[in-house]
Amino acid sequence: MEYITNIFKSKNIETHIPLNKRRAIDASFNELSNSFGSLSGSDGRTAVNNLKELVLEPTDDEKFERKRLVQNSRYFEKRYRDLREIMKVIMIASIIFAILTIMSTRGFLPRVFGTTIIPILVGLFIFYLVYRYFDVAMRNQINYDDYDFDIPDYKNRANQ
């Protein structure tokens, strides 16, 4: 039993054990504990339980993976929230521009409004959308709250 325990303590086995296999290992260790414990008493059960904890203990890689999944979840949550806000603005502005255009062609608004003011508003709206999109696009790939300013340095590149 000590030989098997030493193998797991040596950390030579760094494998990822999926949840269904962990449950199967847990069930087989419980059976082993019951059968081994009846033969050698409570010391056998504690040895089997210690071995089970070593086998089922998450490795450093698994802990890092879980932490990274949480970070990715937060990143994509914030990114999709901003993209959703951009889409809301597009939908609301499209409806407003359609209503203003219809009202202008039907004669409810002056003709000047339809020929000059609506195109100016559409231009400002497009400028705002480009600003919002580049705000999302320039975010850091790991931390959404940071910006990446990867501006190429052409002066130094020419000297090399």
Residue range 113-117: average pLDDT?
87
pTM, whole model, 2 decimals? 0.54
- How far apart CA 45 and CA 35 sit, in angstroms, is 9
Confidence band, pLDDT 50/70/90 cuts, at residue 22: low
Percent of the chain with pLDDT over 70: 54
Residue 147 bridge partners (DSSP): 139
Which pLDDT score, from 0 to 100, does residue 142 have?
Answer: 79
Q: Which 3-state string (H, E, C) describes the chain?
A: CHHHHHHHHCCCCCCCCCHHHHHHHHHHHHHHHHHHHHHHCHHHHHHHHHHHHHHHCCCHHHHHHHHHHHHHHHHHHHHHHHHHHHHHHHHHHHHHHHHHHHHHHHCCCCHHHHHHHHHHHHHHHHHHHHHHHHHHHCECCCCCCCECCCCCCHHHHHHC
